[in-house]
């Protein structure tokens, strides 16, 4: 049907062992999100184009759809593939507000599409895992702490390389700039946001262009250099001498989010207040999050988000939200490409039931059925080859056990651990493999 | 950000309770497929358009993509969203043949897109769950039995309304038509395939047009009327007096597949040999499958497939396959629309930890943390309202327990079953809910 296909750049696909590792990551994310009471939502893959571009995101490389046999005069509104899970979730909330209970806590794990130039960690098709909490009219601040904590908990359980969750607060930086006397707070924020990519002198020039004098620009750069894993950052900011009510609120909020996330993060996640993080182009109004993966800083933030005072609005009602989005493919793709993450087998089967002769395949299938009824994944050998060949079939897939059904009612079955070569009598109704052999194990990268 | 959204016809989305039911169905499918040793594969959502249309499927309403800011002179090949999981899997096998072990057993659960006119059970975006076994050069017949059996096992565990898995075999019907003296076997098959939609007289006219005389047409219609849940169909076919080697092979294969699937199907699945099933337009060469859901016959087959002698080929190597595809959305959509399937709560949480005052939120979060560490999903009340209001918050979501942290170190915590009103002292480190309360329960339709 198809001939000589080649991979499409930006549309990654995984081999079985990588897929098993990805599944384990997705399972763990779901488990953590559900333990925290977040409910699963999936949205359709498409949104009307005009809604996706409403946010002013004209720079987004949206994939637009047309039906192959569509009537060119059709009045169907143009549809595009969603480029994130926030826009569709906001629309879902508005569309179903009457059927949801607020505050509504949802997680959403789905693919997104962006027609950007592919590079490592940046794909045209990728999976995101988002958590958001959305309120009807108001949403208490403690949900900012909750969202940071659930993601710190989730990320810490994944076994990725060391992660640094970087927190900041828009009120803090906006209050600081205001207290400093800046008139165009947005321009200052956008300038500071360029610190990742531009030289300090260039940022300083942008700050001057935004109307700051040298002392003010210095203060902005000093603020951006503040970073701490505990509340000591509050004193560092106070030492800069700026006073402002919004700044005070921001400092208090950031200290609480930092404490809440740090208290739950495991050894693989460091939580920091990093006052350079601004997420300048997005409409955040309080807490903001970014996350770096050690050794993979070049792929950018793998987990980002923050507080929106209006995640969604239909003019009448306003739905504030706070959320964070983990880039599953962005994090795993580079690990898979370097062979740093995988699985110890390419089959879910724990046991291969051997077949002595095609005429006794039914007996082997019966053994498999008993094992499966007891939750033990197993496969039946595809051909009644010599046993050495059947063992090789298991070995090539990493299946640890080969089961030999007895030749007659008098004999007993035997099971061989093909790693050690140990072969022992066994009864399918009672034999149980060590729990670590039941399912594939995931190979994790070093911390 | 968005205002007044309306549902898009053909792009279904589920509310939380429906999504929980869908998740349970997907989990159960995955569990069964993995117990049988099938490995998960996911493919990208897009395929080059020319490959999707290669099969001659010009009638497919493919969604074609373009990047919003694409260079119109770009030489990028045109991409479309996949309309099934067979075409992408065939391409995946060819692309990765050097990295796969054959016979390769995979399952794939993903969304597909078709721009067809939406109606009940037919969507523009829908989830399919496929199992296929593909060989390198050859693929033993017993895999046909395996594929029928794994799907019968999987479907039987889902709790759907009663299902009828209908089996037939192309060798059987082609051999029969050949033995009968038909010269254009394909035309006869396509005519018989219309029995679902056309009156018998119309089908008879088509058969005559295909070159059959009246007696031959009668025999074809008689064959199509044969149906049985056991091997008695073999005698019924023999009684029609046609003799042909291919017919014999087909009868033998069909009897084996029927027996293999019937032996594993539970009370919710009937397995039948139904000799009217032909799947006329697809390139099947042996076993064919369709499935009807009782009470929902109008949505068509919800689970179909069969044996392809060339699932994929790169000219050099040929990869025969046998597979079956369950239309998850096609089956669940009508059930959700009628309220026949859902969940007993809209939150994964088993416990809502109450908050006595905002100042003690930390104590409530600590209780939640202990419960979560023990695998008990829980939520913390969003506001320190009166307890009656907090209980109502749990009740509206179906969360069965509300936990009251003690006011001081001397007192003990208490937990209330809000359904019975029973409230008892409890310790988060040891309290365990009944297993049926730990996760949401699914409401099943009657058999």
What CATH number has the domain bearing residue B80? 3.30.930.10
Contacts of A60 in chain B (CB under 8 A): 68
Q: Are residue A112 and residue A226 in the same domain, yes or no?
A: no
Contacts of A372 in chain B (CB under 8 A): 35-36
pTM for the whole structure = 0.96
Q: Are residue A333 and residue A358 in the same domain, yes or no?
A: no
CA angle A282, A286, A288 (to 5 degrees): 60
Q: Which residue of A19, A24, A35 to mutate against B (max B Cβ within 10 Å)?
A: A35
Contact B5 A51 (CB under 8 A): yes
Q: Are residue B139 and residue B168 in the same domain, yes or no?
A: no
CATH number at residue A427: 3.40.50.800
Contact B65 A60 (CB under 8 A): no
Considering only the beta carbons, identify the residue of B3, B15, B95 that sits closest to A315. Answer: B3
Contact B40 A16 (CB under 8 A): yes
Instruction: Please state the separation of Cα B275 from the chain's center in Å.
Output: 23
Three-class DSSP category at B164: strand
How far is the alpha carbon of A443 from chain B, nearest alpha carbon, in Å?
Answer: 17
Chain A residue nearest residue B345, CA to CA: A39
Q: Judging by DSSP bridges, how do beta strands A287-293 and A163-169 pair with one another? A: antiparallel
The per-residue b/e assignment along B333-370, b for 16 or more CB within 10 angstroms, e otherwise, is bbbbeeebbbbebbbbbbbbbbbbeeeebebbbbbbbb
Q: Are residue A155 and residue A15 in the same domain, yes or no?
A: yes
Contact B313 A1 (CB under 8 A): yes
Contacts of B1 in chain A (CB under 8 A): 54-55, 87, 90, 310-313
| Whole-number Cα distances in Å, A353 to A103, A398, A400, B132, B253 | 51, 14, 11, 20, 23
Q: Are residue A72 and residue A202 in the same domain, yes or no?
A: no
Q: Are residue B167 and residue B127 in the same domain, yes or no?
A: no
The structure tokens 């403690």 sit at A142
Q: Are residue B125 and residue B146 in the same domain, yes or no?
A: yes
* Domain range for A325: 7-161+295-343
**Residues, chain A:** 447
How far is the alpha carbon of B400 from chain A, nearest alpha carbon, in Å?
Answer: 13
Contacts within 8 Å (CB) and 24+ apart, B53-59: B54/A1, B54/A2, B55/A1, B55/B87, B55/B283, B57/B83
Q: Over its length of 447 residues, how does chain A's per-residue pLDDT go in tens digits?
A: 445 688 999 999 999 999 999 999 999 999 999 999 999 999 999 999 887 876 655 567 899 998 887 766 666 678 999 999 999 999 999 999 999 999 999 999 999 999 989 999 899 999 999 999 999 999 999 999 999 999 999 999 999 999 999 999 999 999 999 999 999 988 998 899 888 888 888 999 999 999 999 999 999 999 999 999 999 999 999 999 999 999 999 999 999 999 999 999 988 999 999 999 877 666 899 999 999 999 999 999 999 999 998 888 888 899 999 999 999 999 999 999 999 999 999 999 999 999 999 999 999 999 999 999 999 999 999 999 999 999 999 999 999 999 999 977 678 999 999 999 999 999 999 999 999 999 999 998 887
Contacts of B96 in chain A (CB under 8 A): 15
Tell whether A447 is covered by a domain.
no
- Judged on CB neighbours under 10 Å (0-12, 13-18, 19+), B285 is middle
Instruction: Please state the separation of Cα B236 from the chain's center in Å.
Output: 32
| Whole-number Cα distances in Å, A32 to A66, A307, B250, B309 | 38, 21, 51, 44
Strand partners, A423: A416
CA distance B399 to B406: 20
- DSSP annotation string for A89-127: HHHHHHHHGGGS-SSEEEEEEEEEE--PPPBTTB-SEEE
Contact B2 A96 (CB under 8 A): no
Considering only the beta carbons, identify the residue of A49, A315, A377 that sits closest to B34. Answer: A377
Contacts of A55 in chain B (CB under 8 A): 1
Chain A residue nearest residue B96, CA to CA: A15
Contact A37 B378 (CB under 8 A): yes
A252 upstream amide cis, omega within 30 of 0: no
Contact B45 A46 (CB under 8 A): no
Tell whether A290 is covered by a domain.
no
How far is the alpha carbon of B240 from chain A, nearest alpha carbon, in Å?
Answer: 31
Which value does ipTM take for this structure? 0.95
Q: Are residue B109 and residue B198 in the same domain, yes or no?
A: no
Q: Which tokens is B25 given?
A: 């169905």
Q: Are residue B42 and residue B137 in the same domain, yes or no?
A: yes
Q: How many CB pairs lie under 8 A apart between chains A and B? A: 245
Task: Indicate the number of domains in chain B.
Answer: 3
Tell whether A393 is covered by a domain.
yes
């Amino acid at each position: 049907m198809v001939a000589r296909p080649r991979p499409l750049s930006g549309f990654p696909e995984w081999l079985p062992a990588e897929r098993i590792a990805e599944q384990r990551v997705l399972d763990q994310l779901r488990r953590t999100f559900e333990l925290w009471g977040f409910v699963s939502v999936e949205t359709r893959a498409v949104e009307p184009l005009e809604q996706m571009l409403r946010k002013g995101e004209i720079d987004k490389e949206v994939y637009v759809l047309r039906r192959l046999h569509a009537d060119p005069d059709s009045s169907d509104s143009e549809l595009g593939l969603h480029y994130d899970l926030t826009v569709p979730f906001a629309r879902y909330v508005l569309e179903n507000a009457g059927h949801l209970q607020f505050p509504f806590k949802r997680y959403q794990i789905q693919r997104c599409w962006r027609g950007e130039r592919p590079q490592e960690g940046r794909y045209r098709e990728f999976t995101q895992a988002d958590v958001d909490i959305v309120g009807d009219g108001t949403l208490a601040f403690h949900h900012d702490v909750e969202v940071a904590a659930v993601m710190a908990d989730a990320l810490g359980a994944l076994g990725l390389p060391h992660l640094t969750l970087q927190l900041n607060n828009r009120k803090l930086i906006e209050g600081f700039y205001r207290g400093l006397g800046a008139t165009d707070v947005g321009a200052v924020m956008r300038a500071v946001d360029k610190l990742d990519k531009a030289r300090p002198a260039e940022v300083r020039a942008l700050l001057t262009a935004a109307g700051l004098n040298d002392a003010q620009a210095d203060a902005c750069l000093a603020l951006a250099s503040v970073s701490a894993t505990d509340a000591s950052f509050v004193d560092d900011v106070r030492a800069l001498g700026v006073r402002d009510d919004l700044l005070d609120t921001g400092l208090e909020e950031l200290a609480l989010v930092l404490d809440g996330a740090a208290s739950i993060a495991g050894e693989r996640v460091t939580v920091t207040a990093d006052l350079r993080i601004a997420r300048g182009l997005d409409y955040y109004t309080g807490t903001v999050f970014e996350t770096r993966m050690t050794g993979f800083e070049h792929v950018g933030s793998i987990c980002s988000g923050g507080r929106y005072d209006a995640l969604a609005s239909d003019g009448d009602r306003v739905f504030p939200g706070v959320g964070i989005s983990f880039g599953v493919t962005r994090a795993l793709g580079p690990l898979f490409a370097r062979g740093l993450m995988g699985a110890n087998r390419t089959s879910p089967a724990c046991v291969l039931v051997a077949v002595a002769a095609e005429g006794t395949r039914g007996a082997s299938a019966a053994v498999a059925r008993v094992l499966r009824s007891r939750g033990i994944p197993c496969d039946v050998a595809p051909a009644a080859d010599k046993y050495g060949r059947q063992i090789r079939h298991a070995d090539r897939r990493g299946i640890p056990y080969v089961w030999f059904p007895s030749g007659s009612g008098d004999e007993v079955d035997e099971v061989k651990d093909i790693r050690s070569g140990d072969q022992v009598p066994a009864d399918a109704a009672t034999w149980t493999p060590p729990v670590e052999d039941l399912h594939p194990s995931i190979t994790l990268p070093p911390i």
